[in-house]
Amino acid sequence: MEHPTETHRTCGERYATLDFNGICREVFDFHDQIIDLCQTLVGKAEIPEVKELMESLLTMENNESKGLTSQVGRMGDL
């Protein structure tokens, strides 16, 4: 896993053509990449403090994704 996060996805004209659902897919895809990265780093951490830190970041990112899912669901209700 040389470059697990795709950093070439910058804001540009491509996003201007996406609808709400398309942008949501992009955002959730990015969150999924961050979660995968954190999971990989937890598995590779050799120092207990680093593993604990990465587990905390993983928990935080999972919670953020859940919150975002809830917010997106409420947007659909509007």
User: Is 64 a member of any domain?
Assistant: yes
User: Is 68 a member of any domain?
Assistant: yes
User: Is 29 a member of any domain?
Assistant: no
Q: How many domains does the chain have?
A: 1
d(CA 32, CA 27): 9
User: Is 17 a member of any domain?
Assistant: no
Domain that holds residue 64: 48-72
Average pLDDT over residues 56-60: 95
Average pLDDT over residues 54-78: 88
Average pLDDT over residues 54-65: 94
Would you say residue 46 has pLDDT above 60?
Answer: yes
